[in-house]
Structure 1
């Protein structure tokens, strides 16, 4: 018996060839671990004689005041601002938030989720990484742990979400460019396997159709949702059609990248080419030229997400109503004056 009590979770992990976090998840009965891996861990537990103090573990879990925040890209200032607004509410409520950046890597995201589960978090707020499986969080939610998506939803997922009105935002941004006289308008950034991409592209197409402008799919350019992606997308769009005079961008980061590339081509944003972003991060109004952007109520969305999670935790439920926040267009210099009739033709 003495030898059995000396066995540790590390002994089990080494015998099974897995991490300590994976062993902890198996001991907790977590649905995150693949059945074959769980069987290997249970066999290792028997072999090394490890004894799990379930009572102590349950006591720790019952008093957890920790919420995990998993963000897809903290280098994007919008998500950094959102995380701060969420954390502010948790701090006031006496909860501690663990924050992780997945850098749009679903493998890293899975590792972070496992680690947070091993720490016994009371809930997860997630902005899913690009490439996340549609069912990635269904088993977690099915285990009774509250999960809430922010900004992004997954196709077919039942996880509640807090997000802006992406379709309407793209519609008003595109309509503004059309009102400036532009007819060859590109959409830059994002990928078709993202729900938000379809929502924003849908708004872009709807605005074109409402103005009687034929949609040209060649002007919709897929790209990473960061500055580098914006630079490449702008090049691709102009290579496909040099007559493009404006672009609606997936987000402000893409817009900043597009403006950098315009200058490298000898074109001045706001004078030679009009740009509209999406999110209206703090940098947008200070950029040169100041960026016209679809404004998202970052603070409002962050506060709503935090309060929804608090209500789910306190109510012992995984269910909540989706919240879609209003948007509005902040008009600045990046769209310039009205396009001349000669260029608009």
Structure 2
């Protein structure tokens, strides 16, 4: 099976003992923090542990099994409705099959993502659903491949040569957003995103830009990408809009398309700080939906991701592999729904339209 290639044997306590020239019992004492071990022997153990990459096995020898009935799930964060709902769906689907789901957040850190995965490997999880910080080529996915772990990659992925992937069809959804905005007469559009979400940003940006340019070759598309967090994006947006205000009014975009949820909120906050109204002064569309976007006025247009479908197909693929399913990895794209709510209109069409582009 493709994703079980190049499996490496875990360094054992006996490997450490052999390399350090001490007994396994001495290694065990050092790792447990016993202070009666000679300092020079303890140092040799620590050196061997670092060199070999040894990690304490949390399963006692009399409890060791090939796999446990545990499914691991690693998400970039738990704050958004998308990933919160994803974990809820994955947990329910795991429990239906008699498994327990253990979920953790990488907090948008690839280093933490790999550390969590290493712990899940220690726990002998049966499989892992990984939503990587950036894409399918990160250190966590590489660790899974090197250690023969069974897994499925979701969300910020395109396709992979070792694992099944399931994600929203970001490119198609963004193309539909472009058709809507171009159709309403927008010819100057700002796209905002988060640079660390590499695979997601690329698909969404390319899908939007390609369709917009095909429909209106004269369209101006500006792009603002923050590297890692919303605060840098807030500052970049402020500078961007200040430049537009400092020049002619025609330099202000008539619509903003945010490629991620927090970016939508940041953009809306900046509009309100400047006294701009949607859609009269500027239109706004966000990728990903949230309850606040539906209840605010005007309600914010959104791309709704198919959480239930992604979770369902991810778990189907994962359990098929756990049960020995063979065959090449499959890349699956789930269609999104685009809801054009009240935050989108035609440019220069309202009482506050003096600051926007007039077509």
With the shorter chain as reference, the TM-score category is 0.7 to 0.9
Structure 1 position 274, deviation (Å): 0.6
Tell me whether 1:321 sits opposite 2:310 in the alignment: no
Matched with 1:76 is: 80
| Conserved? CA contact 2:253–2:357, under 8 Å | no
Shift of residue 337, structure 1, vs aligned partner: 5.2
* Other structure's SS at 1:222 match: strand
Range moving further from structure 2, 282-291 or 258-267: 282-291
The secondary structure found in structure 2 opposite 1:334 is coil
Quote the Cα distance in structure 2 between the aligned partners of 1:229 and 1:53. Answer: 43
Pick aligned residue for 2:237 from 231, 234, 238: 234
For 1:52 and 1:295, the matched residues in 2 are separated by: 41
1:223 maps to 226
Partner of 1:179: 183
Matches within 5 A, 1:40-119: 41=54, 56=62, 58-59=64-65, 61-62=66-67, 64-119=68-123
Structure 2 match to 1:11: 30
- C-alpha distance in structure 1 between counterparts of 2:172 and 2:59, whole Å: 53
User: Counterpart of 1:27?
Assistant: none
Equivalent of residue 299 in structure 1, options 290, 308, 313:
308
Equivalent residue number for residue 32 of structure 1: none
2:264 corresponds, among 251, 255, 259, to: 255
1:106 to partner: Cα distance = 1.2
CA distances 1:216-267 after superposition (whole Å, capped 9, x unpaired): 56x1110257654653453244245442111111123211221011101111
Of 29, 48, 51, 1:37 maps to 51
Query: Matched residues in 2 for 1:207 and 1:326: separation?
Result: 17
Q: By how many angstroms is 1:70 displaced?
A: 0.6
Unaligned runs of 5+ in 1: 24-35, 46-50
| Partners of 1:74 and 1:124 in 2: CA distance | 17
Cα distance per residue 1:61-103 (max 9 Å; x no partner):
33x0111111112112211111111111111111111111111
The 5 A counterparts of 1:161-180 are 161-180=165-184
Kindly indicate whether the alpha-carbon contact (under 8 Å) linking 2:185 and 2:347 is maintained by their aligned counterparts in 1. Answer: yes
Deviation at 1:143, TM superposition (A): 3.0
- 259, 264, 268: which one pairs with 2:273? 264
Inter-partner Cα distance in structure 1 for 2:127 and 2:274: 48
TM-score with structure 1 setting the length: 0.79
Note closer, same or farther for the CA distance 1:224–1:287 as it changes in structure 2 (3 Å cut).
farther
Q: Which residue of 1 aligns with 2:6?
A: none
Q: Distance in 1 between matches of 2:230 and 2:295?
A: 17
How big is the shift at 1:138?
2.9
Partner of 2:285: 276
User: Structure 1 residue 56: deviation in Å?
Assistant: 3.6
Aligned partners of 1:225 and 1:251 also within 8 Å:
no
Change (3 A) 1:135 1:158: farther
Match for residue 188 of structure 1 among 185, 192, 216: 192
**What SS does the corresponding residue of 2:337 show, helix, strand or coil?**
strand
Counterparts of 2:344 and 2:125, CA distance in 1:
45
Once the two structures are superposed, what CA deviation does each residue of 1:190-230 show, in whole Å capped at 9, x if it has no partner? 2277122111111111122122234656x111025765465
Decide which moves more: 127-136 or 100-109.
127-136
Across the two proteins, how many residue pairs are aligned to each other? 317
